[in-house]
Amino acid sequence: MNERDLRSDKASEKTGGTFEETHKETGAENASFSESDNASEGAGKISEKIGGSSEKAGAGARGRRNAALFLGGQGVSMLGSMLVHYAIMWNLTLETRSGSVMMLFAVAALLPIVFISPFAGVWADRYNKKYLINISDSCIAAVTLLMSALFFFGIRDIWLLFACAVMRSLGQGVQAPSVGALLTEIAPVDRLKKLNAANAGIQALCSFAAPMLSGVILSFMRIEAVMALDVATAAIGVSVVFFFVKTPKKTPKKSGKDVAGYFREMKEGALYVVKHKFLLKFMAFALLFNLILSPATVLVPLQVARNFGAEVWRLTVTESAWSAGMVLGGVILSIWKGFKNHTFSISVAAAVFGTGLVWLGIVRDMWIYAAVNAVMGLSAPMFQTATVTLLQTKTDAEYVGRVFGVFTMISSAAIPLGMVLFGPLGDAISIDYIFIATGALMLLSGLLLNFSKTMRKAGEPI
């Protein structure tokens, strides 16, 4: 369950300046998709400047078709990835019932993203994002196919599951910044919130189906069967995106392909975040939020196994309840459109998460526990849509990939750091106490975010 940019006064002034410059550069590079614009005045032109060449690329039937095919292809691939994620996590949970093992799994699944994301952000700003997404998807599928073959021939050591998690994590780290940034190229800025809500809904549907399918498959087949399904869904997703999704032609930046060039561009991305007060504050919030969230991302299955029983169906019910809440939240968001201020949306979602975690540490009935998970899932699309839309619309076009890379790095680093503490702690004290404490902290962090004038001002839509 992988989620931001809120503007300060200076950032608002920059919208009319650097966005205009970025638009002119983008128009020169992508002539087939956009034409150079004369200098514009007034807030009515800001959306066009932010989108640059993306507005015409996403306009009309071609833009809608591009977005639908891209989200559909990614959804198919995502379903297979989630099947493998649940299969590995549940296999380790039921075989070991150890908080330390789950901590190691979290580190293996997330730490590689921390190291690769800064480079991936640079690549997303330099090269064709569609190709980056397909290459990373293909590499993940190749690793999964190898693991499936090893397990099929009886080589079933637990360390292989950790190795698989590491390799898949590297691929996901390359993919994440490109996915977020690509939507800004194939859709106009005024449709981004709607598309992000649709993407959140697709993820919710995958999250709803994956634990049930994974539970059914693991009940009748071995884990290598789940891995084989992931390879098939990846092949479908890559084919759809490669053959049918059209993106603007991108000329690689002439900033040097040497190591020094990469680090120079990474430094520029980091300085961009530091210079924009709203980004710096939000990155700090993201670090704290994900650090507090880390126990719930890994210890929920372990808590279910300890408090209610180690049967697979109990894990399936818990995860499905969360996912059902996400699906319902996505439907509600598509109709209601959410709160106008993105910062307020994020704060409300964080408050719901925090309150839910407290209740997970209190309830002793399996079905009430599942209901609490559903309510928490209800707010997930709001959180995701608001944060991704802020990153896309409040960041200069030439820095979108690197800002997503920084955000992915921070979010991914927080969870293994938290698990270094909470994993062993889960073996020493009751997980219930951990959830109550972290839930209260999360509720407080959401309130503090909403009280920040900088964040509230930056959360206002364009």
Q: What is the CATH number of the domain that holds 59?
A: 1.20.1250.20
Whether the CB-CB separation of 73 and 236 falls below 8 Å is answered with: yes
How far apart CA 283 and CA 306 sit, in angstroms, is 35
Percentage above 70 pLDDT, the chain = 83
pLDDT band per the 50, 70, 90 thresholds, residue 99 = low
pLDDT band with cut points at 50, 70 and 90 for residue 52: very low
What pLDDT score was predicted for residue 355?
94
In-domain check, residue 36: no
Least confident range from 19-33, 96-110, 339-353: namely 19-33
Residue with tokens 């073959």: 149
Helices 431-451 and 342-360: crossing angle in degrees, nearest 10, is: 160
Within 10 angstroms of residue 175's Cβ, the number of other Cβ atoms is: 27
The whole-angstrom separation of Cα 381 and Cα 3 is 10
Which pLDDT score is estimated for 134? 92
- DSSP of 60-78: HHHHHHHHHHHHHHHHHHH
- Spatial CB neighbours of 186, under 8 Å, sequence gap ≥ 6: 54, 57, 58, 63, 66, 67, 70, 245, 246, 247
Cβ burial, residue 243 (10 Å; 0-12/13-18/19+): exposed
64 pLDDT above the threshold of 90: no
Residue 67 domain-assigned?
yes
Judged against a pLDDT cut of 60, whether residue 346 lies above it is answered with yes
228 located within any domain: yes
Q: Is the pLDDT higher at 278 or at 313?
A: 278
Q: Which two tokens stand for residue 66?
A: 């591009």
The HSE-up count of residue 232 (CA atoms within 13 Å, CB side) is 7
Q: How many CB atoms lie within 10 A of CB 368?
A: 13
Q: Structure tokens of 8?
A: 């300060």
pTM above 0.95, yes or no: no
Query: What is the dihedral sign for C-alpha 274, 279, 280, 284?
Result: negative
Give the whole-angstrom CA distance, residue 37 versus residue 16.
14
Q: Hey, what are 456's tokens? A: 């509230």
Any residues with CB less than 8 A from the CB of 384 and at least 6 apart, and which? 3, 196, 200, 203
Q: Contact, 125 vs 253, CB < 8 A?
A: yes
- Segments forming the whole domain that contains residue 62: 9-16+54-249+258-458
> So what's the pLDDT on residue 61?
65
Which conformational region is residue 123 in: left (phi greater than 0), alpha (psi within -120 to 50 degrees), or beta? alpha
Establish if 43 belongs to a structural domain.
Answer: no
| Dihedral Cα 120, 173, 148, 295, nearest 10 deg | 170
DSSP letter for 42, please.
S
- What's the rounded Cα separation, in Å, for the pair 21 and 449? 31
pLDDT at 26 over 70: no
Q: Does any domain span residue 25?
A: no
Integer Cα distance of 333 and 197 in angstroms: 7
Does pLDDT of 333 surpass 50?
yes
Asked if residues 445 and 292 have their Cβ atoms less than 8 Å apart, the reply is yes
N- to C-terminal Cα separation, the chain: 28
Say yes or no to pLDDT of 7 above 80. no
Please give the residue that has the higher pLDDT: either 363 or 19. Answer: 363
Rounded average pLDDT over 178-202: 81
Give the H or E element holding residue 26. Answer: helix 9-29
- What is the percent of the chain with per-residue pLDDT over 90, rounded to a whole number? 18
Contacts 24+ apart (CB under 8 A), 41-44: 43/462
- Which range has the worst mean pLDDT, 97-106, 191-200, 281-290, 364-373? 97-106
- Determine contact, residues 49/20, Cβ cutoff 8 Å: yes
Phi, psi of 153 (to 5 degrees): -90, 15
Give the CA radius of gyration of the chain: 21
For residues 131 and 88, what is the distance between their CA atoms, to the nearest angstrom? 28
Cα separation of 373 and 327, whole Å? 13
- Give the model confidence (pLDDT) of 383-415 as tens digits: 988 898 888 888 888 888 899 888 888 887 887
The tokens for 84 are: 């493998």
Cα dihedral 47, 50, 51, 52 sign: positive
**How many structural domains is the chain composed of?**
1
Confidence band, pLDDT 50/70/90 cuts, at residue 460: confident
Distances (CA, A) of 18 to 24, 39, 314: 10, 12, 52
